[in-house]
Structure 1
Amino acid sequence: MIKARPFDYPYDGNLNPAATALIVIDMQRDFLSTDGYFARQGYDPAPLRAIIPVLDRLIAVCRQAGIRIIHTRQGYREDLADMTPYEKWRRKRSGIEGTNVLLRGHPGFEIVPEIDVRSEDIIVDKTCNGAFTYTDFEHVLRAQGITHLLFSGCTTDVCVHTTLREACDRNFQCLTIADACASGDQYAHEAALHMVTVENGIFGALSDSAAVIEAIGKLPAR
């Protein structure tokens, strides 16, 4: 089991690599670069980049144990056909109208090269904050027999938390890895992590990478 709060994960003591996936949310150039979407909103992407070494360690130990790695990417079709009027309004308000920011097929949409993405990994592309909305994410999880999700990536308070909440409502067993998540707003980051633990773990359990790596490292190698 993984040492966590408000309870050790998973609650039933059955840590099965074949039924578990590490979810790496939106570690894309447009969120982590100094000239991408996130930076253009006035946020410092440095906290997001700071978790890259943590993620690489988690990915390596999960792969060794046979835990699936699933990456998500957020962005729109290049022709904007999947962008609502409100989203277009926000895009204009954000000063990125007419740019390639957060558009599929462009460099900013891609996962940063420091993250070890391999051909056997699963990539889910989304337009919304939550990875379940208008995607095949849930179908992929069910098809793979995955019932337990380890959450990481950015941003803690938006895409990570939205996907976490969606997963809990679909009865997946969820663990958020605190130091493997990041936000440009420290207050929002800390509040999002705190919300995981309220009401005796209403959104699952909260741990850190050291505890996750220690527990998974004890599992037989795949």
Structure 2
Amino acid sequence: MTILRPDIRRDDPYPAAATALLLVDMQRIWLEPGRNPGHPDWDAGHPFHRDVAARAIPNQARLLAAARAGGVEVIHTIIRSLTRDGRDRSLDHKMTPLHVGPDDPLALPVPELAVGADEILLPKTSSGVFNSTNIDYVLRNLGITHLVVAGIMTDQCVDMAVRDAADRGFVVTCVGDACAAATAERHSHALGAFGGYCWVADTDTVEARFRAMRAP
């Protein structure tokens, strides 16, 4: 992994070939109204689904297109068990209970954010992607120093990705207007709480940075 200079800032320009975009849990089961078994009453009119449809998904689609155009590495993470009965899940997911089987098509990202050719998809069985996947190993093998994070839920899995990445020595950006939580209050409070671990940027800014980059 590249050794970063001691005076680096979180909002410094992204280095070519050392920057990755991480999209967190943008799955059909959570984002298509009526699919979430934990919230079957969340229809298309629920604030979460309205927010996701109007803001988070379109903004992430912009980031995804710009990342691909700029040669930025793209990683998708999803909640999905390795076994059909979910016996490999974390204790927390078993107690919740939370289980998305390996053959369930609802485990995959929504069509607008579908995994592209040769992009990385990491299934996880915990809130923190660094806890139940080999993402740290993968990022270091790729030579990544800067990680840009967007996804759901801002106050849960996004929060953990940001904090854990920062603790492991990555320079982290969270694209605030490309994330969503169950309520607007939880979303804004989370950004305020973990903002000390990252640069909280917006889609316009990050999209422009990605499009200005070129693959080596």
**Among 206, 216, 219, the residue aligned to 2:200:** 206
In structure 2, the partner of 1:143 is: 141
Residues 1:17 and 1:34: Cα distance change in structure 2 (over 3 Å) = same
* 2:39 pairs with 1:39: yes
Q: Tell me the matched-pair count.
A: 202
Cα RMSD for the two superposed structures: 2.2
**Among 54, 69, 77, the residue aligned to 1:72:** 77
Asked if the contact 1:196/1:206 (under 8 Å) is kept, the reply is no
Name stretches of at least 5 consecutive residues in structure 1 with no aligned partner.
Answer: 1-7
Following TM superposition, by how much is the alpha carbon of 1:52 offset from its aligned partner in structure 2, in angstroms?
1.4
In structure 2, the partner of 1:26 is: 25
Asked if the contact 2:77/2:121 (under 8 Å) is kept, the reply is yes
Cα distance in 2 for partners of 1:10, 1:85 equals 34
Following TM superposition, by how much is the alpha carbon of 1:221 offset from its aligned partner in structure 2, in angstroms?
6.2
Identity across the alignment (%): 31
Cα distance in 2 for partners of 1:134, 1:63 equals 26
Following TM superposition, by how much is the alpha carbon of 1:45 offset from its aligned partner in structure 2, in angstroms?
2.7
In structure 2, the partner of 1:17 is: 16
Query: SS where residue 175 of structure 2 aligns?
Result: strand
Cα shift readout 1:31-52 (whole Å, capped 9, x = no counterpart): 1011222533756433223321
Following TM superposition, by how much is the alpha carbon of 1:84 offset from its aligned partner in structure 2, in angstroms?
5.0
- Give the TM-score taking structure 2 as reference length: 0.84
Letter in 1 for 2:30: F
Query: SS where residue 46 of structure 1 aligns?
Result: helix
Query: SS where residue 149 of structure 2 aligns?
Result: strand
Asked if the contact 2:147/2:173 (under 8 Å) is kept, the reply is yes
- Give the TM-score taking structure 1 as reference length: 0.82
Cα distance in 2 for partners of 1:179, 1:146 equals 23
Residues 1:116 and 1:179: Cα distance change in structure 2 (over 3 Å) = same
Residues 1:86 and 1:148: Cα distance change in structure 2 (over 3 Å) = closer
Cα shift readout 1:38-67 (whole Å, capped 9, x = no counterpart): 533756433223321111111111111110
* 2:63 pairs with 1:58: yes
Name stretches of at least 5 consecutive residues in structure 2 with no aligned partner.
Answer: 1-7
* 2:209 pairs with 1:215: yes
Residues 1:219 and 1:187: Cα distance change in structure 2 (over 3 Å) = same
Cα shift readout 1:92-121 (whole Å, capped 9, x = no counterpart): xxxx8xxxx622210221111121421221
Cα distance in 2 for partners of 1:23, 1:86 equals 23
Letter in 2 for 1:74: I
Cα shift readout 1:170-194 (whole Å, capped 9, x = no counterpart): 0100000011111122111001111
Residues 1:203 and 1:106: Cα distance change in structure 2 (over 3 Å) = same
Following TM superposition, by how much is the alpha carbon of 1:220 offset from its aligned partner in structure 2, in angstroms?
4.0
Asked if the contact 2:115/2:121 (under 8 Å) is kept, the reply is no
Moved more, 133-142 or 77-86: 77-86
Asked if the contact 1:58/1:213 (under 8 Å) is kept, the reply is yes
Cα distance in 2 for partners of 1:85, 1:203 equals 27
In structure 1, the partner of 2:115 is: 117
* 2:80 pairs with 1:82: no
Asked if the contact 1:56/1:116 (under 8 Å) is kept, the reply is no
Letter in 2 for 1:15: Y
Residues 1:181 and 1:205: Cα distance change in structure 2 (over 3 Å) = same
Q: 1:171-182 alignment to 2 at 5 Å?
A: 171-182=169-180
